[in-house]
Amino acid sequence: MNRLLAFLIRDFHTETSYRLGFLVSIGGVFVRVFIFYFLAQLVNPSAAPLLSDYNGDYFAFVLIGIAFGGYFSTGLTGFANALRQTQTTGTLEAMMMTPTPVSLLIVGSAAWSYTYTTFRVLIYLLVGVLLLGLDLGQANVPAALLSLLLAIISFASIGIIAASVIMVVKRGDPITAVFGGLANLIGGVYYPIEILPNWLQFFARLLPITYALRAMRLSLLNGAGWAELAPDLLALLLFCVLLFPLSLLIFRYAVEQARADGSLAQY
């Protein structure tokens, strides 16, 4: 726990040392909320049936999407960005020589990214509730927290695999580019997947973000019970069980491969 806290404190000081960038990032949250609030006023009433599971409120739908979709972006890029930073500063090889378990190094490297993302999500929700009429009065908070935990683990697994690929090939970030694009296009961030052609809906259901956002919306906006959320929670659990152990194995292999060819500190 002390080691994890050390990672968190280090990255907090790094982030807040650039105060203007930090403030601009937070200001961007306010701007995005208001942009989508005004866009929601233009949504055609004919789309209401597609939003019936979410009380027909497009603003609430999209706000949950862009807020909690941030965890998907953090999961995809947080580990790769942390890896690049330790490579460029020359600290990666030294960290790998310590007795700290690889799994803790992985978690610690992205701890601040997740903390900061949570802070941004809270701002999204507070602005929505306090200024723009977002109604979370029926929220099933325990279900939302469980959905979030499973989502974070499944998202992080993909990000760890992406970081592993970068460590070995040293070029580009194809996994992040592909999954990031797919999440925005067909993951249900900005519109229900039911609006997509059937063949695209098939691919949407292969992404963990699809189930994560549906579970978050149902639990926060509708106060959905465990029975209603069960299909989405089970899908997320399956992603976690399959992807997380696989991602750790791939990362360990990538570290050993980089050590063997002497490229651990290269980027």
Q: What is the pLDDT of residue 11?
A: 57
Our count of domains for the chain comes to 1
Assigned domain for 267 exists:
no
pLDDT band at 9 (very low <50, low <70, confident <90, very high): low
pTM of the model as a whole: 0.82
Q: What is the pLDDT of residue 219?
A: 96
Q: What is the pLDDT of residue 217?
A: 95
Q: What is the pLDDT of residue 78?
A: 79
- pLDDT value at 169 more than 90: no
Quick: pLDDT tens for 12-67.
556 556 566 666 667 767 777 777 677 776 565 656 677 777 777 888 999 999 99
Quick: pLDDT tens for 115-124.
889 999 999 9
Do you know the residue count of the chain? 267
Assigned domain for 56 exists:
yes
Please say whether the beta carbons of 240 and 150 come within 8 A: yes
- pLDDT value at 206 more than 80: yes
What's the chain's average pLDDT? Answer: 81
36-50, 185-199, 214-228 — which is least confidently predicted? 36-50
Q: What is the pLDDT of residue 15?
A: 58
Task: Please state the rounded mean pLDDT for residues 2-9.
Answer: 57
For residue 184, the enclosing domain spans: 2-260
Name which residue leads in pLDDT, 61 or 3.
Answer: 61
Assigned domain for 95 exists:
yes
In sequence order, what are the residues at sequence separation of 6 or more whose Cβ sits closer than 8 angstroms to the Cβ of residue 213? 64, 65, 68, 69, 187, 188, 189
Signed CA dihedral, 21, 23, 29, 34: sign only: negative
Assigned domain for 266 exists:
no
Assigned domain for 197 exists:
yes
Please say whether the beta carbons of 155 and 210 come within 8 A: no
Name which residue leads in pLDDT, 211 or 190.
Answer: 211
Burial 61-92 (b: 16+ CB within 10 A, else e): bbbbbbbbbbbbbbbbbbbbbbbbebbeeeeb
Q: What is the pLDDT of residue 94?
A: 62
pLDDT band at 260 (very low <50, low <70, confident <90, very high): confident
- pLDDT value at 235 more than 90: yes
Assigned domain for 249 exists:
yes
164-168, 178-182, 237-241 — which is least confidently predicted? 164-168
When mean pLDDT is compared over 60-74, 103-117, 251-265, the highest value belongs to 60-74
Assigned domain for 96 exists:
yes
**Percent of the chain's residues with pLDDT above 90:** 35
